[in-house]
Chains A and B, each alone.
Chain A
């Protein structure tokens, strides 16, 4: 219950240490050749999926607004970054591209959000799906994006450092947002929009903020994708891609960031493993999907975060210690 005075609490320092150790662990495993290029591709996929799914969870899981069009925002970031890298194939070009792409995705998110977020439930889902399809068709027909053939990359700017840094930043930003007064306002919309409005929450504004914020990070994830995987084309950002992200979110637990991260890792690994059995890949994937939904429809974590669990155990230890003494 106690609110700390600064960000430098013991807990946050432990998290910082964990994050840094993960970074250096992978870094050294890479430089000693224990993790090869093949592994790095998987790691890149994990990072990008985490960004996509956590940002989608903000919209769907926390704010309760059903979106089936997240891939549309991703494609905006991807194309912007790819185009920026064409005119300037270096890290600066990458950073310019990913910034423009994310901001552009945010702007499009606001423009799309204002009319569509008045809709509820499945209607909103279908409208966002439609928006993403329209974005795809636009990229399919623009000259600058090279239509259906897509764009080849020029420079692989995204390496482990950028992938990890941007992913951590995205997760941290969304985590901080969700665990603030503004995040509570978003969650209250999910819980009961009418009551939320009656308590003075500008629900329209917060839905748009959550949507735009989610779009921003999806754009950034798209930027990472195009600069890491080189090649992009409109078909990569279709309905199935949006569904992939939604599956990660639902599997992890709507409203759990930790759950989303775990399920992003698991599903990315699953995809990698299934890559070797390409003919039955989608069949196995769909069967696993249905089985998980049938047996654990609330997702792996529900709305619980790992930090809650740790807190609970920590408290329990203390209580046990007290009873002993």
Chain B
């Protein structure tokens, strides 16, 4: 059974279809790319998968560790607690909180002690707090952020903010993680480092990853399978090599004329 299956998913805003009749499946521990031109509806799909939007129609089935949940219509925090974590295209860290507190938020629903033991500062409170901090530092060490746990998130350089978003998502112990343009704004060497880390995360944590990215070389290098979206509809899917040569994909990205030019070798 695939870990995520999306059937006939549609979402419209006031009559405008942002996503229509999308079908997708992700097998466990797969690394899948979701690409498409700007405004194709990629982030809308992420928002549907994480419960920020309620689908107009269609089903989303999430099946981690042998359990099966229909998650469309669930609240975002419920979905998150079932094991879907995400990052945001336009970084959404808790800016005025420290680096470690950002990570601790994600661990909140698993490890925290009760309100009463927090109020009365029982030893249970101190134990859970200590355990959470230790674990948070371990997660932070993935991106070498464990050296600055007390820095405010807003004071981190841009690249590290993107890293912290990934750490924060990881700390909720997800089985599926959705990365929304993790390489946006990064230079060549940062991107290749990121690519290595994403692969490492997948293997180390046994994660399933769905990735939105505009950097085609990263997508082609990293992803095992790719879905292509245009105007809210899936126009193609397949292996990176198939996608590269798919006429519809080239059309979507470059326009029909350019696609014809490429096909005819620029003779016209």
A75-83, A186-194, A266-274: which one contacts chain B? A186-194
A195-B94 in contact given A4-B126, A200-B172, A203-B77 (Cβ < 8 Å): yes
Contact A1 B108 (CB under 8 A): no
A202, CB-defined interface residue at 8 Å = yes
A143, CB-defined interface residue at 8 Å = no
A184-B108 in contact given A3-B133, A195-B92, A197-B77 (Cβ < 8 Å): yes
CB distance from B125 to the nearest CB of A (A): 7
Residues on A with C-beta less than 8 A from B183 are: none
Bound-state Cα–Cα, A3 to B127, Å: 8
Contact B80 A1 (CB under 8 A): no
Residues on A with C-beta less than 8 A from B50 are: 198
A10, CB-defined interface residue at 8 Å = no
A201-B118 in contact given A182-B112, A192-B92, A303-B96 (Cβ < 8 Å): no
B166, CB-defined interface residue at 8 Å = no
CB distance from B59 to the nearest CB of A (A): 21
Residues on A with C-beta less than 8 A from B81 are: 200
Residues on B with C-beta less than 8 A from A197 are: 51-52, 75-77, 80
Bound-state Cα–Cα, A204 to B112, Å: 18
* Partner of A191 from B94, B109, B115, B168 at Cβ < 8 Å: B94
Contact B97 A188 (CB under 8 A): yes
Bound-state Cα–Cα, A202 to B104, Å: 15
A321, CB-defined interface residue at 8 Å = no
Contact A201 B105 (CB under 8 A): yes
* Partner of A7 from B96, B121, B130, B150 at Cβ < 8 Å: B121
A3-B96 in contact given A199-B168, A200-B81, A209-B115 (Cβ < 8 Å): no
B128, CB-defined interface residue at 8 Å = yes
B225, CB-defined interface residue at 8 Å = no
CB distance from A181 to the nearest CB of B (A): 3
A200-B126 in contact given A177-B115, A303-B96 (Cβ < 8 Å): no
- In the complex, number of A-B residue pairs with CB atoms less than 8 Å apart: 115
Over the window 183-213 of chain B, the binary record of Cβ atoms lying under 8 Å from chain A Cβ atoms (1 yes, 0 no) is 0000000000000000000000000000000
Chain A interface, >50% SS class: helix
The range of chain B's interface size is: 35 or more
Q: Restricting to A1-33, which residues have a CB under 8 Å from any CB of B? A: 1, 3-7
A191-B96 in contact given A7-B121, A199-B172 (Cβ < 8 Å): yes
Bound-state Cα–Cα, A39 to B188, Å: 69
Contact B108 A200 (CB under 8 A): yes
B143, CB-defined interface residue at 8 Å = no
Residues on B with C-beta less than 8 A from A4 are: 126
Interface centre among B75, B81, B115, B128, by most chain A C-beta atoms within 10 angstroms, is: B115
B149, CB-defined interface residue at 8 Å = yes
Q: Restricting to B63-90, which residues have a CB under 8 Å from any CB of A? A: 75-77, 80-81, 85-86, 88
CB distance from A170 to the nearest CB of B (A): 11
Residues on A with C-beta less than 8 A from B133 are: 1, 3
Residues on B with C-beta less than 8 A from A1 are: 133, 149-150
B129, CB-defined interface residue at 8 Å = yes
Bound-state Cα–Cα, A180 to B108, Å: 10
CB distance from B128 to the nearest CB of A (A): 7
Interface centre among B86, B118, B120, by most chain A C-beta atoms within 10 angstroms, is: B118
B181, CB-defined interface residue at 8 Å = no
Chain A residues within 8 Å of chain B by Cβ, number: 32
Residues on B with C-beta less than 8 A from A289 are: none
Bound-state Cα–Cα, A181 to B126, Å: 11
A146, CB-defined interface residue at 8 Å = no
Q: Restricting to A301-315, which residues have a CB under 8 Å from any CB of B? A: 303
Residues on B with C-beta less than 8 A from A202 are: 75, 77, 109
Contact B92 A185 (CB under 8 A): no
Bound-state Cα–Cα, A176 to B85, Å: 29
B230, CB-defined interface residue at 8 Å = no
A173, CB-defined interface residue at 8 Å = yes
Bound-state Cα–Cα, A183 to B106, Å: 13
Contact B126 A192 (CB under 8 A): no
Bound-state Cα–Cα, A82 to B76, Å: 44
Bound-state Cα–Cα, A194 to B129, Å: 25
A191-B97 in contact given A176-B119, A198-B86 (Cβ < 8 Å): yes
Contact A177 B119 (CB under 8 A): yes
A99, CB-defined interface residue at 8 Å = no
A91, CB-defined interface residue at 8 Å = no
Bound-state Cα–Cα, A303 to B152, Å: 12
Bound-state Cα–Cα, A209 to B106, Å: 19
Contact B109 A200 (CB under 8 A): yes
Bound-state Cα–Cα, A133 to B63, Å: 49
Residues on B with C-beta less than 8 A from A7 are: 121, 126
A42, CB-defined interface residue at 8 Å = no
B19, CB-defined interface residue at 8 Å = no
Q: A3-B130, A180-B119 are in contact. List 7 more A-B contacts (CB 8 A).
A: A6-B123, A7-B121, A7-B126, A191-B95, A199-B108, A201-B77, A201-B108
Nearest 6 CB-CB pairs, A to B? A181-B112, A180-B118, A200-B80, A191-B94, A197-B76, A195-B92
Binding site for B on A (CB under 8 A): 1, 3-7, 173, 176-177, 180-185, 187-188, 191-192, 194-204, 209, 303
Q: Can you list 8 A-B contacts (CB < 8 A)?
A: A1-B150, A6-B126, A181-B128, A191-B94, A197-B75, A199-B108, A200-B77, A200-B172
